[in-house]
């Protein structure tokens, strides 16, 4: 039986499945990770048809996957002289790829969380001044806990900003925050 033109080796299957699972854990589609991994391991650019055959996906499925990967900037189209179809390669600078995802996704979520927590903090501040003693006590407890969440979200934003700016992370502020929380819980 002739070998398929673009059959994956055992190591390519293992890596593409592992990356696919990891990517899925981070909230992306598994086939995005699998497709990127096959391109990353390939010494040559591959066409959509090459990827479709290798990963045993539908034409529509590979087309949508490549569109998403292009949008995230983790694959790019390359031109091969004499070929009419598109070929693709993976972004091989892992830091560039990860930092782009952090910039476009995690920073947006942290900013949303900070905004929502600030609004909730303002609401509990009003509730602490109104209502009966039981309602005020509940609002005070919630205000303190929301403030702690807000501190953590702001710290997360600062750490992410520092990581994206310098490609280095100083964990000291996080350690101090966690130690402070531990002391407060012990008291």
Three-state DSSP state, 69:
helix
Domains of the chain: 10-92 (1.10.10.10), 95-186 (no CATH)
Q: What is the pLDDT of residue 1?
A: 31
Which residue is associated with the tokens 């992370």? Answer: 169
Three-state DSSP state, 88:
strand
Per-residue pLDDT of the chain (187 residues; tens, 9 = 90+): 333 467 899 999 999 999 999 999 988 999 999 999 999 999 999 999 999 999 999 999 999 999 999 999 999 999 989 989 999 999 988 888 888 888 888 888 999 999 999 999 999 999 988 878 898 899 999 999 999 999 999 988 888 888 777 765 555 666 666 666 566 666 5
In the structure encoding, which two tokens stand for residue 40, read together? 């990353």
Question: How many residues are listed for the chain in this entry?
Answer: 187
Alpha helices in 83-131 (DSSP H): 94-101, 107-128
- The backbone torsions φ and ψ at residue 75, rounded to the nearest 5 degrees and listed phi first, read -135, 160
């Amino acid at each position: 039986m002739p070998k398929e033109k673009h059959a994956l080796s055992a190591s390519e299957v293992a890596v593409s499945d592992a990356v696919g699972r990891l990517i899925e854990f981070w909230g992306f589609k598994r086939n995005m990770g699998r497709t990127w991994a096959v391109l990353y391991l390939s010494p040559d650019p591959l066409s959509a048809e090459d990827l479709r055959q290798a990963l045993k996906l539908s034409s529509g499925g590979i087309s949508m996957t490549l569109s998403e990967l292009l949008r995230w900037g983790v694959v790019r189209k390359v031109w091969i002289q004499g070929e009419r179809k598109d070929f693709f390669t993976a972004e091989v600078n892992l830091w560039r790829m990860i930092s782009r995802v952090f910039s476009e996704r995690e920073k947006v979520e942290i900013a949303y969380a900070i905004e929502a927590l600030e609004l909730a903090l303002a609401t509990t501040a009003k509730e602490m001044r109104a209502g009966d003693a039981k309602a005020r006590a509940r609002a005070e407890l919630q205000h303190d806990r929301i403030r702690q969440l807000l501190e953590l979200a702001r710290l997360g934003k600062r750490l992410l900003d520092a990581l994206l700016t310098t490609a280095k992370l100083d964990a000291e502020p996080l350690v101090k925050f966690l130690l402070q929380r531990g002391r407060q819980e012990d008291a």
